[in-house]
Copies of this chain bind each other. A is one copy, B any other.
């Protein structure tokens, strides 16, 4: 999916919500555990219940890998299901990969050839050759970690460079712009650091940002929109636990829909305020 198509979807759905499929076998409703593939059964119902309210889904790979082969099967089925039934959805592999070029090539093969993801999250530590192999596919995206939503973000991401005073996350934003464009790169910026978005927008005014951390992690959607929205919206705001675990009973899909709708209504208002609708 390209940038224009993504913005079209945002306008059509009146939403820039990404639903995070952090589907944990230990947390899904008990009645699903008797089905042959509980994780896929859970995802399918969540997707059917939320697909008109969001523009993206983001399976978090750790949850699938923790189940081994069967988890990987559930993941492949989930991506295939979305792609077949809701082809207008943008599908993100939240994988935080990144290795020497030779190896990143293989990860790209895994997520873009083997499965039909639109984007993959990548960690920047290993630099250019670890990131670029993901950008050789037409209309596929790298989403590079810039400023993450967790406490550990303070360990290294704010270190100031003695040559120019830039913080590490700023250097990541600046340097990586030489590797790709706003048509094949996005950045992860945590909602818990919303006050930094203004600064970030001076460096990457046009790029889409994937924003985790609204909801369970405490970030504010209004702040994110205030400082982060651009002329093509430029935001995909993720919510995982707040939506998919809104209930852990037989009404989980209905409650997930209600939770997603609450976010979508707020997003519609923010898009209207920004005169994007």
**Alpha-carbon gap, A60 to B99, bound state (A):** 10
Segment 101-130 of A: residues with Cβ below 8 Å from B: 101, 103-107, 109-110, 113-115, 123-130
- The CA-CA distance from A259 to B171 in the complex, in Å, is 42
**Which of B62, B113, B123 is in CB contact (< 8 Å) with A106?**
B62
Do A171 and B151 touch across chains, with their CB atoms under 8 A apart? Answer: no
* Interchain CB contact under 8 A, B160 and A172: no
For residue A9, which residues in chain B have a CB less than 8 angstroms away from its CB?
Answer: none
Most buried by B among A97, A105, A159: A159
Distance, CA A109 to CA B62, complexed state (A): 9
Q: Is the CB of B107 within 8 A of A66?
A: yes
Q: Judging by beta carbons under 8 Å apart, are B127 and A124 in contact? A: no
Beta-carbon contacts under 8 Å, A19-72 to B: 22, 24, 60, 62-63, 65-69, 72
Asked if A154 lies at the interface with its beta carbon under 8 angstroms from chain B, I say yes
Given contacts A100-B149, A106-B24, A168-B168, are A156 and B65 in contact (CB under 8 A)? Answer: no
Q: A68 — which chain B residues lie within 8 A by C-beta?
A: 72, 76, 110, 114-115
- The digit string for A85-99, where 1 denotes a CB below 8 A from any CB of B, is 000000000101111
Return chain B residues, CB-CB under 8 Å to A106.
24, 60, 62-63, 65-66
Other A-B pairs, 16, CB within 8 Å; known A65-B110, A124-B125, A160-B163: A60-B103, A62-B103, A62-B105, A66-B109, A67-B114, A68-B72, A68-B110, A68-B114, A69-B76, A125-B157, A126-B145, A127-B154, A127-B157, A156-B172, A159-B171, A161-B161
